[in-house]
Structure 1
Amino acid sequence: MCDIERFDDSLFAILKECRTLPNFFDAVFGFLNRRTDFYVISTNSNSHVGLPEGFAERFVRNTFYKWKPKDLNKNEVPEAVIETEIETEVEIDDETDNNKGIAMKSDDIEGDLRKLNVENDKNVSDSYNGGVFDNYSWSQTISDVDVLIKTPFGVTSKDLIVAIHPNKISIKTKKSSLVLIEDELCNCVKNSEAIWSLDVSQRKLTVHLEKRSEIWWDCLLKSEPKLDLSKMDCSRPFEELPDEAQAKIEELQWNQERKRLGLPTSDEIKMRETLKKAWNAEGSPFVGDFDPSSVNFN
């Protein structure tokens, strides 16, 4: 994880140039469009280009709530996303703090668990590197987990009891004590950074969890069948790769573009520079003006 505060001065300079937040965001997302594969939809789990459908929106949403202040005044938040704390239990240990999970209040939702058809609601991003079950689905990246849970008729955010511990998750309704999901997690999470929200139109509860360690999970709950990690897309987003790996990928992309334009690659440029230095050196078989076209590079 990079130290993002080191970009503050550069970002502030861009913001001053843009003058307004809409222009700033337009510049950011325009850059993602022009210079990255952020908007490319990947249809093949083995592809290293693009993201699965819905992942780009999810990254933006999760990052928004990650940095959202927890003490915002009620009047400062749009009605559709009013923040409220609702008996969210958090078990504190040596690696957590007193911050509770964030809950988004929404209007009453309609429908019934028995009437919800899992097959009709399937989305590739909802179970990417994860699984789909009768009442919930989950997906993961190397650093976080997203859980999508079906909710019963008439349930609002005030009707839920959400308890997220480092190694366990429990979500129930208050009145009927209906268990929506409850079990030990496959691995530990940073429970103090958990985010959950109730969607009005989709009748779904979304839970975002940050992994304690950057490892791939073979299940969400210990009671689930194990996934085959060898068949999982274990690629990582470009920005999460080490600096050396990013530099190598950028060099490969640059060389591919040079080849497409019929221009020398980085290796060919280095070879020509070396040849130029040795052209008239003592013992060199070449004499006269430097002429790389007379040399056959293998």
Structure 2
Amino acid sequence: MSEQEPTPAELARRDEEEKARKAQEAAEQAQLPYKWTQTIRDVDVTIPVAANLRGRDLDVLLTKTKIRVAVKGQDAVIEGEYPHPVLPDECSWTLESTSHPPGKEIVIHLDKVNKVEWWPHVVVGAPKIDVSKITPESSSLSDLDGETRAMVEKMMYDQRQKEMGGLTSDEQKKRDILRRFQADHPEMDFSNAKIG
């Protein structure tokens, strides 16, 4: 059974739903007391604060699973568990002056443990973004460490094979093992053998 092409009305409805979802997501993110961005490897958070604050006025805690940022004696601006762990020794924060608007901001850098996973939010319970709509920045396979590169290359190969109706690398491996076994055991009947 083949899939029918969507009608122009259906495409227009999907487009409107997508615009509404994006607008709601943007509004939710704008309500947060911080701004955040991410790459596949890390997350950066900026929090505007009063211009007269100094580093010693701040209470900043960055652990493998949690974050807490507050001005001492006040409620936390951001506090909670990350959706995924970070590398605490690679995380940092600084207090920087800003010119537009004049003031200061806390700049937090979080290094992800899992370098192949997008975060839907900085802390669990905060409004989520739709990570399925993220278009990764262009990078080359040579930027990746060996293990990650091998995994990505395998995924790309398997995807190309599926698109062409071919075997994935795992299916090919199973077929090769069966062929070797058949060659080593010609006395056995493999006429009803199924690979899957």
Contact map agreement 2:36 2:46 (CA 8 A) in 1? yes
- Corresponding residue number in structure 1 for 2:135: 233
- Corresponding residue number in structure 2 for 1:165: 63
Q: 1:217 aligns with which of 100, 119, 133?
A: 119
Tell me the CA shift for residue 226 of structure 1: 2.1
- Between the aligned residues of both structures, percent identity stands at 30
Tell me the CA shift for residue 225 of structure 1: 2.1
* Alignment length (residue pairs): 114
Task: Determine whether 1:200 maps to 2:116.
Answer: no
Contact map agreement 2:51 2:97 (CA 8 A) in 1? no
Q: For residue 122 of structure 2, what is the amino acid of its counterpart?
A: L
| TM-score, normalised relative to structure 2 | 0.52
Structure 2 gap ranges (5+): 1-28, 154-196
CA distances 1:195-228 after superposition (whole Å, capped 9, x unpaired): 1111123411100010011111111111122221
- Corresponding residue number in structure 2 for 1:39: none
CA distances 1:154-193 after superposition (whole Å, capped 9, x unpaired): 211111111111111001122x334221111111101121
Tell me the CA shift for residue 236 of structure 1: 4.6
Alignment of 1:1-298 (within 5 A): 131-152=29-50, 154-174=52-72, 176-202=73-99, 203-214=104-115, 215-238=117-140, 239-241=142-144, 242=149
Q: For residue 107 of structure 2, what is the amino acid of its counterpart?
A: T
Structure 1 residue runs of 4 or more that deviate by more than 3 Å after TM superposition = 131-134, 241-245
Tell me the CA shift for residue 141 of structure 1: 0.6
Q: Select the structure that is richer in strand.
A: 2
Structure 1 gap ranges (5+): 1-130, 246-298
**2:98 partner SS:** coil
| Aligned counterparts of 2:112 and 2:130: Cα–Cα separation in 1 | 19
- Corresponding residue number in structure 2 for 1:51: none
Tell me the CA shift for residue 235 of structure 1: 4.1
| Aligned counterparts of 2:68 and 2:136: Cα–Cα separation in 1 | 28
| TM-score, normalised relative to structure 1 | 0.35
Tell me the CA shift for residue 234 of structure 1: 2.6
Contact map agreement 1:142 1:236 (CA 8 A) in 2? no
| Aligned counterparts of 1:218 and 1:233: Cα–Cα separation in 2 | 14
Q: For residue 213 of structure 1, what is the amino acid of its counterpart?
A: N
Contact map agreement 2:67 2:82 (CA 8 A) in 1? yes
Q: For residue 180 of structure 1, what is the amino acid of its counterpart?
A: V
CA distances 1:17-57 after superposition (whole Å, capped 9, x unpaired): xxxxxxxxxxxxxxxxxxxxxxxxxxxxxxxxxxxxxxxxx
| Aligned counterparts of 2:114 and 2:30: Cα–Cα separation in 1 | 23
